[in-house]
Each structure stands twice: as structure tokens, then as C-alpha cells.
Amino acid sequence: MGAPRISWRTAVVTGAATLLAGSGAGTASWAAYRLLMAQAGAARGVIGRDTSKPPEADGIYTAGCVAPEPWRTGKHADLHLMIFGDSTAAGVGCLTADGVPGVRIARALAEASGKRIRLSTKAISGATSKGLAGQVDAMFVAGPPPDAAVIFIGANDITKKHSISASARRLGAAVARLHLSGSVVVVGTCPDLGTVSAIPQPLRTIVWNWSVRLARAQFAVTIAAGGHPVALGELGREFRTAPEQMFSADGFHPSAAGYELAAARVLPALLAALEQRGLNTDRGAHGLRRGLAARLRGLVAQKSGAVAADDAEARNGRGDVPGARQVRYT
């Protein structure tokens, strides 16, 4: 995601057509359009535009380091990790660098392997899948491809209502270029935008539906291009039941706790892929995976009462996003 420059008018027109498909009632269609336009305006006003920059996070990470070493030509790193995508990849919403997802991943890799991990960030706030080609181009201009690439992309494609098939195709092309250059590529697919409470119903259900469809398409093209997809939309349950903990102050970007969950989802896939490639992550790797799984279970258990109440509400027909918990991308 980036600063939420949401193409609400396009969303409203498409949403109204979706909700009223097959209806010949012009008056009803106009009423639905007016309703969704009003909801879009309210959401835009609540969310606003986050123009803040994410904390500087690049450098060389080692096991137990307090701060990264600045990268300079001639310095040594055992593994180069590069982050591509939008503002969620860059960590907008974090107050310190320690919460940025790339930093969490780099630190975990350093702890698991005992190696020097260089972190580089190509992600740009506000980017859509159209911008991935430019980010990959910039990488090739700057130097050799990274050993590992992590991509978070999709939310802005939804808010700007880009074609789902075209967005997925662009992601697949970027993954293929990185994979063919020798990089291990892990993709965090589109998050569940139905968790953004500033978007009212029924518009939120429409946006949720688009995000689910894009995530499924991204999952498929990533596998086809040789990458490793991770379904970040499955974190929707945690974000929905603990929004004050999982979202930053703008109500749109994740908080440090939200990014921690995202990194915990990505890390097992990245560690497994690097082990297949030959990186020795035996040092604490299995314990690290167990710790990440325990962290996820702990958060769910902590909020179990809220989850039970939410499920009861959904069964009574008052849930915010019908059927969201049945979503699976595999």
C-alpha cells in the first residue's frame, strides 16, 4: 500500500454495477451510486493521505546487532536481501526501523544463519504492479541481482481499480525476471482490504472481494514464474479482531505489530527456499519457525474472546465482511 490515493469514483461506479447487475431500475441504480459515492467520500476523509516516509532501514545485519552497519562498496555480506513493492514493503506506519518488515526478515535471517545479511529496499510508497518493472530495472542498473527478493504488492492496484488479470500478469513478469537472474523470490500477496474499517459497507465488501480475487491470481502467477507465494490475506482475522493493535494511526497501513505478523508469514517460506538453494540456516532455524508460529497462536488466543463474539455476530447476519474467514488462497 501507499499513501491512499484511492480511485473511489471508479470503485463506486464498478461497485454499483456489481451490486445492481441485471437491474433495470434506474432510480435504484442512481440511489446505490449516490450511497457508494457518499461512503467513498467519508472513507477518503477519515483515511486522509499519509505522506510520512518509512524509517531508514538498509544496511548489513548480523546476529544480535543493535543497529545495521552502513553498506559501502568493498564491504562483505553473505546474503543480499532486497525488498520490492509498495509502502507496506517499505514499512510506512512504523515509528522506528525495528518494526519495518524488511528489518524483521533480515534480522531473523541473520539469527538463523549466523551470516551477514545486507538489506536493500527498492519499494516505493504508492507503487502498483505497474511500478515493479521500474524497481527491477533500477536493481539491474545499480548492481547484480540479490540472493533473495521479497515483494509486497497489490493493495494500490485494488484502490486504484486496476485490472486484476493485468496486475497479476505484471507481478508474474517481475517474479520471472528476478527468478531467472538467480534470485529466490517470495511474494506476499494482496492483503485483505476488508479489514480497513474506515471503508464503510457495502463498499468495504466490494473492496474485500477485489482483494481476494487479486490475491488468488497473484498466488497462481507467482508459482508459475518460479516464486514462492505467501497469502497475507489470511491475516485478515487478526487485523479484524484487533484493529487498534494491528493498524497504525492512519487506520490504513499496518502498525509494527501488524508488520511483525506479515514478516512471520513470509519467513518460513523464505527460509525453506534459501535452504533449498544451499544457504545454511540450521542455526536456530527450526526454533525460529516454532517461535513465529507460537507468536501467531498467541495473538489468536489473546483475542479469542473477540473472535468468538465476532463469529457469533456473523452467524446472526451482522458481520462486516460476510464469508471472509472462509477465504483460502491455496
Active-site annotation, residues: 87, 250, 253
CA 82 to chain centre: 15
Rg (alpha carbons) of the chain, rounded to whole number: 20
Sign of CA dihedral 98, 268, 274, 215: negative
Rounded CA separation 211/239 (Å):
15
Query: What is the distance between the alpha carbons of residues 127 and 156, in angstroms, rounded to a whole number?
Result: 7
Tell me how far apart the alpha carbons of residues 148 and 182 are, in angstroms, rounded to a whole number. Answer: 9
CA distance 129 to 172: 10
Contact present, 248 and 93 (Cβ < 8 Å): yes
CB 292 within 8 A of CB 250: no
Tell me which amino acid residue 18 is. Answer: T
- Return the number of other C-beta atoms located less than 10 Å from residue 69's C-beta: 14
Q: Could you check whether the bond before residue 202 is cis, i.e. omega within 30 degrees of 0?
A: yes
Cβ–Cβ under 8 Å, residues 133 and 170: yes
Which triple of cell numbers denotes residue 235? 491475516
Could you give the 3-state DSSP secondary structure of residue 72? coil
Q: Is 198 helix (H, G, I), strand (E, B) or coil?
A: coil
